[in-house]
Amino acid sequence: ETGVTQSPTHLIKTRGQQVTLRCSSQSGHNTVSWYQQALGQGPQFIFQYYREEENGRGNFPPRFSGLQFPNYSSELNVNALELDDSALYLCASSIQGEGPYEQYFGPGTRLTVT
């Protein structure tokens, strides 16, 4: 069974640029959630995708957007990057539809905005 994978591992971007981060869900999982983890903080929920639709969103501006594909892989897009967007971005996959669930995280993408 393949776990959750994310690419790239590290990324450096300049303020104002756009970035796309990718996530492959664990086999059999139909839901993906994205989190931002700033240094010294816990992961903060960005949004969740289920059946290719956004299924919930945290307190993040619209310049954070996402996609989920038919194979349940996902992308996180961030436009007009700001310095405060520098963080570890985590995706987590799960099986939704039968009550509460455990999420399984990937190793994350470290984004640095200069």
Partner 1 sequence: DQQVKQNSPSLSVQEGRISILNCDYTNSMFDYFLWYKKYPAEGPTFLISISSIKDKNEDGRFTVFLNKSAKHLSLHIVPSQPGDSAVYFCAASENRGTYKYIFGTGTRLKVLA
Residues that bind partner 1 (CB under 8 A): 4, 6, 33, 35, 40-45, 48, 50, 55-56, 58, 90, 92, 96, 99-108
Give the residue with the Cβ less far from partner 1, 15 or 57.
57
CB neighbours of 65 closer than 8 A, spacing ≥ 6?
A: 76, 77, 78, 79
Amino acid at 19: V
C-alpha–C-alpha distance, residues 41 and 18, integer Å: 24
Which of 11, 1, 29 lies closest to 87, judged by CA?
Answer: 11
Amino acid at 16: G
CB of 15 to partner 1, least distance (A): 26
Give the residue with the Cβ less far from partner 1, 70 or 99.
99
Q: Which helix (H) or strand (E) holds 48?
A: strand 44-50
CB of 55 to partner 1, least distance (A): 5
Give the residue with the Cβ less far from partner 1, 41 or 77.
41
CB of 47 to partner 1, least distance (A): 9
Give the residue with the Cβ less far from partner 1, 69 or 101.
101
